[in-house]
Structure 1
Amino acid sequence: MDAATLEVLLATQPDAPRRGFNAVRTTGIYCRDGCAGRPRAHNVTRFATTVAAEAAGYRPCLLCRPDRLPASASSPHEVVERALILISAGALDEETEEGLASRVGVTARHLRRLFQDHVGATPAFVARSRRAHFARRLLDETDLRMIDVAAASGFASVRQMNRVMRDVFRFTPAELRARRRQRDRLVADGGLRLRVPFDGALAFEELLAYLAPRAIPGVEVIADGAYRRTTSTHGEPGVIEVSRADDHHLLVVAHLPAWTTLIDDVGRVRRLFGLDAPTAEDTPLVDDALLGPLVARQPGLRAPGAWDQFETAVRVFLGQQVTVAGATTLAGRLVEALGRPVAGLEPLGLTHVFPAASDLAEASVERLRAIGMPEARARALREFARAYVDGRVRLDPATPLDEATQALEALPGVGPWTAQLIALRAMGLRDAFPAGDLGLRRNAARWVGEDAPLDGARLEAMAEAWRPHRALAALHLWFSGRVDAGG
């Protein structure tokens, strides 16, 4: 649809979203803006998301391929957004809508009603669409067998995948693979290669610069413009590599013993690099007197998340009252003491899988002290691991910020800085803000023209104006001083 036709459509459908997809009633397909197709405006219904168009019975256009765009995990309704974040992390792969509703604090019936009102589809349909679109990308870009595509995409069987793919795309997986364009296919030169799409700008190199000094020795390596790490698939080790493919995709190379966790591993990549999080340019921060100039200097920054919530929370714990370099050293010693060794990856700098929460919960205080931790902090770290294992603490991205920080601060050795930084990095809560962080206080002082670091309470008061995007505000403040703090 060209721009002129779109303006006619928006004029005749005042409630239609300006950013969205065009579903053509006469053909039964939906397209992205700018598609070469030229439908008449009166035959078009506008949808905000691909899943809403699919739930209404439309299939994606084979020409403009709207299904290749990243699905949004955002919504103006807080409960819906929290549920979408959980679904994008695979929440409905193993639990029911009732379980999902319980996690966001509503009944299943109310959650379905909210989804119909704000998304245009049920939670179960959103999860089904997630699996179908991931399978379509595997069919386009890899030569995996159908049984492996089904397993990697979260389907219980090839038969189930065939049924869902026919419902969504009107073609079977075999027919879709036969139709793929040659330029979509990635030639493997070791490992399975997959492009991961994102919308808008992404300061990928800057995120690598943030993650590099915090990389856990033996588990993570950042070198030559790429992030590499060990993984565990059903107890067997693997390796994931992430680099920039182009302005709209990251390239993931997966070396895994099985493909059954691939859809979740790609979700972890999205979470780690904030691919579904907003940039400050898309928020009121861009107009803030203090942050606006910082946003202009560093476009495309996204709040980095966690590959594994427990792992990142432990990394934050180790950063208490020490430098970033000191915390990294402690993390390496912890991995060497309690992690599972991985053979054959030493040339990459990868030697271990990060310790399981149960291993850390069962470790003796003496063993934790041996890595260089004071006794009180060793006990606190072990208690945190035990609380995580028995469910007293859940690092759930759908948890409201106040509830999350209260639960964390109820544990010994966890203060506001630790709780807020765990909420920011491990849980991906977008309004988390560790106001007591020395780097934030120092950099904020610089930008308001003062020499001494700001008082934490004063910075906390200033940050009220940055809600609900304080995590992004923290990131821009850290980067304004070249990321010399922040755990």
Structure 2
Amino acid sequence: MAGRFAPRPTRTTVRGGHVAVPGGAPGGVPGGVPRPAAAPGRVRTFVPEWPLDLGLVLGPLRRGPADPTFRAMPDGSVWRASLTPAGPGTLRVAARRDGEVRGEAWGPGAEWLLDRLPELLGAADDPSVFVPRHRLLAVTRHRRPGLRLTRTGLVLESLIPSILEQKVTTDEAYRAWRSLVRKFGEPAPGPAAGGRLWVMPAPRTWALIPSWEWHRAGVDNKRASTILRAVRVAARLEQAVGMSAAEAQARLEVVPGVGPWTSAEVVQRSHGAADAVTVGDLHLPGIVGWALAGDRDADDEAMLSLLEPYAGQRHRAARLILLSGRTPARRAPRMPRGDIGRL
């Protein structure tokens, strides 16, 4: 449930959150736009003390395969465009075979992004405290040693797409995010400018989007109104990154229309919250119930009971379950897609 609207989203939390990041020669630019030699970015390199899987760590940040703020390139790099407290920024991350990670950033937010690069890649996470109590989770953790929980340090960039994902199908939510960012955002700074990478709109821009544009993007009035209420207090919400995950969720849920489902989706990304299990999801309880107890009809209460041995690490446990691939067979038609933009 998200606030008073009691949405039943069809998107299962991160669904494992893995993005395929192929290997290749360095230098790829989103959209095939040539990298200008006269505009080098700021660079930071470091060697993580853990096995790094860029696709696993950064996968939850991608909102669909055509997310205009995220690109996984054939050269093995991941590009992100973010609206930081210092302004728009573009970040390219690539991991070398010798273990070194190279981050390159452009725009006013470049330094901010590079300062937080280790946390983005899981430096603030401690998976060693997780103790598997089911064979399935033990096996999955062994097979996915590169799983770390990202921490972006940004609230609004996760809150707005999470609100769009309330009460609709995944495809509808991704289409709305893609349409609104491309129409009202700005091209990402650096070599990706003019390509396929965009920075999401600033809070004031979200607040000025006309009602008919929300309609064209397929966003109903309830979700649009929730976003408008959130961007009016954007500064207060961004301050939540300095709080604990539980305190941040409480602050987010003060906004009408934002409930436990949405707030958990946010702090999983903004805080790297290992215990922020998503409740109110249409599929997740059944997946967890099936994986741990053979109960495909499990509800939120049953799911939380099954995850109780993982208190403090319930989100990590849920991600490992999703990554295991052990899900019940579908026995009902997919939720019908709607398109209010054509009404």
**TM-score when normalising by structure 2:** 0.72
1:349 to 172, 196, 201: 196
2:270 to 401, 422, 426: 426
Question: What residue in structure 2 maps to residue 194 of structure 1?
Answer: 44
1:206, 1:287 → 2: CA distance? Answer: 22
CA positional deviation for 1:407: 2.5
CA positional deviation for 1:278: 1.5
2:262, 2:85 → 1: CA distance? Answer: 31
Given the alignment of the two structures, is residue 335 of structure 1 paired with residue 181 of structure 2, yes or no?
yes
Whether the aligned pair in 2 keeps the contact of 1:272 and 1:304 (CA below 8 Å) is yes
- The structure where helix makes up a greater share of residues is 1
| 1:189-228 equivalences in 2 (<5 Å) | 191-212=41-62, 214=64, 217-224=67-74, 225-228=76-79
CA 1:240–1:401 in structure 2 vs 1: closer, same or farther (change >3 Å)?
A: closer
Whether the aligned pair in 1 keeps the contact of 2:120 and 2:150 (CA below 8 Å) is yes
Tell me, which stretches of 5 or more residues in structure 2 are unaligned?
1-37, 328-343
Question: What residue in structure 1 maps to residue 121 of structure 2?
Answer: 273
Tell me which of the two structures has the higher relative contact order, counting C-alpha pairs closer than 8 angstroms and 6 or more residues apart: 2
1:239 to 55, 77, 90: 90
CA positional deviation for 1:311: 0.9
Identity %: 24
CA positional deviation for 1:276: 2.3
Whether the aligned pair in 1 keeps the contact of 2:92 and 2:103 (CA below 8 Å) is yes
Q: Secondary structure of 1:229's match?
A: strand
| 1:318-329 equivalences in 2 (<5 Å) | 318-329=164-175
Tell me, which stretches of 5 or more residues in structure 1 are unaligned?
1-187
One-letter code aligned to 2:94: S
1:292, 1:301 → 2: CA distance? Answer: 13
CA positional deviation for 1:312: 1.4
CA 1:427–1:238 in structure 2 vs 1: closer, same or farther (change >3 Å)?
A: closer
Structure label with greater radius of gyration: 1
CA positional deviation for 1:277: 1.0
Whether the aligned pair in 2 keeps the contact of 1:277 and 1:302 (CA below 8 Å) is yes
2:276, 2:233 → 1: CA distance? Answer: 21
CA positional deviation for 1:332: 0.9
Whether the aligned pair in 1 keeps the contact of 2:149 and 2:273 (CA below 8 Å) is no
Aligned length: 288
Whether the aligned pair in 1 keeps the contact of 2:90 and 2:107 (CA below 8 Å) is no
Whether the aligned pair in 2 keeps the contact of 1:431 and 1:470 (CA below 8 Å) is yes
CA 1:340–1:348 in structure 2 vs 1: closer, same or farther (change >3 Å)?
A: closer
Whether the aligned pair in 2 keeps the contact of 1:397 and 1:427 (CA below 8 Å) is yes
Give per-residue Cα distances to partners, 1:389-412, cap 9 Å, x unaligned. 4x2x34523323333223322322
Q: Secondary structure of 1:227's match?
A: strand
1:480, 1:451 → 2: CA distance? Answer: 16
CA positional deviation for 1:460: 1.5
Give per-residue Cα distances to partners, 1:405-448, cap 9 Å, x unaligned. 23322322222211211121223333211133344323313323
1:325, 1:289 → 2: CA distance? Answer: 33
Question: What residue in structure 1 maps to residue 142 of structure 2?
Answer: 296
Give per-residue Cα distances to partners, 1:100-144, cap 9 Å, x unaligned. xxxxxxxxxxxxxxxxxxxxxxxxxxxxxxxxxxxxxxxxxxxxx
CA 1:366–1:445 in structure 2 vs 1: closer, same or farther (change >3 Å)?
A: same
CA positional deviation for 1:242: 0.7
Question: What residue in structure 1 maps to residue 225 of structure 2?
Answer: 379
CA positional deviation for 1:330: 1.2
